[in-house]
Structure 1
Amino acid sequence: MMIKTIEQNFEVAYRYRLFFTEGVFQTDNSLFESLIKEYKDEPVKLLFVVDNGVVEAHPNLLKEIDTYCKQFSQNLVHTHSLVVQGGEACKNGEKYVNQILDGINDYAICRHSFVVVIGGGAVIDMAGYAAAIAHRGVKLIRIPTTVLSQNDSAVGVKNSINFFGKKNFVGTFAPPFAIINDSLFLKTLEQRDWISGVAEALKVALIKDVDFFKYIEDNGLALSERNMEVMQYTIYKCAEMHMQHIAKGGDPFESGSSRPLDFGHWSAHKLEQMTNYELRHGEAVAKGIVLDVAYSYLTGLISESDFNRVVSVFQSIGFDLRFPISTEDEIDRLLKGIQEFREHLGGKLTITLISALGEKHDVHEIDEALMKKALNLVNEISESKAV
C-alpha cells in the first residue's frame, strides 16, 4: 500500500490596534474598560505587570489601577499588580519571566484573561515573552511609557529576552491584543529617554519617507525642547509606518533575511552589550544609524551633503554620536556584531544602508576596513561638533 503525503495550508488573520489617550486609568476615561468589554461582556481577569521606574515616577499609579478596576468591576477583575525591574536588566535572563509565569499560575490567568504590561520597551519585551509562552499564549495588552516603546518596540509583534550575552536571543512572534499609548507617561521622562526614541523615528524616515525626515529635521529643536505636539506627531507617524511595514512587507514574522527596520541595529545591539547596557537602546541606535550612513557615504551611495544633514539632525535633537570605544580590540569586538547579526537573521548577511534620504539599500557584504574608517569619521565629527 502506498502512503501519500498529507499536505495542508492555512492562514491565520491577526488584528491588533494602537490607541492614543491621556490618563488611561483615570475613572472618567472609558477606553480600557471598553476594550475589555468589547472582547467579552463579562468579568475578565487581569494581571498587571508594571515597570518599577514607572511606579517611581507615578507613585499613585497602582492605586489608580485598583480604583479603576473597582469602578468597572462588572468587566475588570484586578487579580494583582506585579512590579518588576525596569530597563534592559529585566531582559538579562529568566528571573523576571519566571516571576510573571508564577503570577499567571497563581492567579489562574488563562487564555481568556489578560496580562497588561505597563513600562518601557525592555519590560514590554520581557513580559510579552512570558505571556506568549504561558498556556501557549495568553492575551496581552501593552501600555508603553517611553517614546521609543510608543513609536517602535511596543507596536511590533516581537517579544524577547537576552541570552548567552546576546540581545534578543530568546523570543517569540506574538501580536498583542492591543497597544495603548498614554501621553501622560511621557511628561515625566528624563531628557535622555525623551529624545532616545526619536532615533527609531529617524530610522524609518531614512529608509522609507524623505518627507518625514524633513519634518524631523525642521523640528529637531522643538523635539529637544520637549514640544509635546511635535513629539506626538513624530510618535504617531513612526508607529504608523512601523505597523504598515509589518502588514504590507510580506514578512511579518521575519522568515527572510532582509530586515529594514533593523537599520543601524547591528552595531547598536553589540554596543549595548559592550557597555553593559548603560546606553539606552535609542542612544545606541542613533550611533548605529549614523555609522551606517557614514559607511553609505564612504561607499559612494549617498552624497556628503546628505551625510551631513543626517548628522546635523541627530545633533540638533541632542544625541551624542561618539562611540565609547577606542582600542583596536574594542573596535574588533564591535565589528563582530556583523557576524552575530547574520546569525540572528539566519542565512545570508543582509545589512540595510541608504542610497538616498528615504531610500533603503541592502548589501550582503561589509568592508570592515572601510567600516573602521566610517567609525573614525563619526567620532571625529562628534568631537568637533561641526559638520
Structure 2
Amino acid sequence: MRYKCTLAFLVILMLLLTACSKKQVPSESESLTLTENREEEKPKKGVIDTPAENRDAADAVSEESVSQPLVREGKEWKELREKAQENGCICSVAFLGTSLDLEEGMAGFLASEEAEQYLDAYPFIKEIPDEGRITHPDGGYEVYCIVPTDPEASVAVNTWEINEDNDFCGESGQVLYRSDCGDPILLLGNLSDIMPSLDVEIVDREGRVLSYQPFLSLYDGSLSVLPEIYDFTMYHDPDFIGRWSASIPAELGGGIALDLNIQRGGNLTYSYGRGNGVPIAVYEGTWSVSEDQSGMKCLVFDLTLVEGIEDNDLWGQYGSGELYEQICGAWTWERGDGPGAAVLRLTLIQGDPFISGYIVATVFEREDP
C-alpha cells in the first residue's frame, strides 16, 4: 500500500512540473526586444497630439501617411528653406491665388494663369503629388503652399472648426493629411474670408511646434502670418498702394491735413483734420479700378463716415466744414517720385471730393520705403 501512495505522489509531482514549464522565462534576446518595443512607445520628435474623438480618423489617415519624400528638392526649394532658416522660421507659406470654380478645385487653379507665375518661380509646386494636395471636404476658394523648413518635420493638416461648441475660438477637427518627411503641400480651403477652415500642425526635429490656420488679412489683403512663418507670397501692388498724406495750401484755408491709406485687397481708410489734432472726420470703405467712357483708367472710392465732429473749425475763421456721410467718386491718378518721397496726384473727374468745396487736384506724398 505504501508503494502505491509513493507512486501516486510521483505522478502528481510530474504533472505539476510539466504545467509550470509552460510559463517560460524570456531569453536575453527576447527581453531586449520587449525593452525596445517599450522605448518605441515613448513620444518622439514629430508626435502630433490628436484629440481623442479624432484618433480613429487619425489612425485611418496614418495608414496612408507619407513617410518618404515625394518631391525632388531643386534649387528654388533649397533656397526657400535656407531663407526660412535664416529667419528662424518653422515653415514658409505663400498665398497662391483664388480658385473661383468650386467644381474645378485644385487642378483647375493650377492650370490657370494666376498660378503660372508661381509654377515658373517655384517649379517644385507642380511636382507636388495628389497626396500633398489637400482640399477641405466642403471645398474653398483660397490656395496656399506650405513648405516646412525641416525636411524631417512631422506635418498634419486638419479641418478647423469654429462654432458655438468651442465658443467660436476654433479647434482641430477631421484629420486630412499626415507626413513625416517635411514635403511641401498645397491647401485649398476657406469658403469665408473671415473664418479659416484648415489647420496646419508642424513639429520639427528641435521640438518646435507651429499651429497655423492660413487666411488673408482683412486690413490689407496680405497673408496673415506668425513670427515663425516666412511669407513667400508674390505681391504685385498697384503703384498707388500705401499710406499717403497731403495738406491743403495756406491760401485755401491752410493747416488741413489729409491721410489716405489705400490697402491691398481693396480696403481703404481716409481722414482729415487740422494739423496733427484729432481728426474731424474718419472714413472707411473700398477702392477699385475702373475705366471712364473714353477708356481712361480711374480709381473709384466708396467711403462711409464712421466718426465725425459736426461742430468743427475746419476752415478756421471761415467756419466749419460740412461732413459727407459718404464719399463716392472717381479720380485719375499720376505717380511721380520726388527727392526722398513718392508722389500721388489724384484728380476728381466725377462724384464727391475729399472735402466739401475742395474740388481741385490733390497731391499726396509718402516717404520712400
What TM bracket, shorter-length normalisation? under 0.3
Structure with the bigger percentage of helix: 1
Structure possessing the higher relative contact order (Cα contacts under 8 Å, 6 or more residues apart): 1
TM-score by length of 1: 0.25
Structure with the bigger percentage of strand: 2
TM-score by length of 2: 0.26
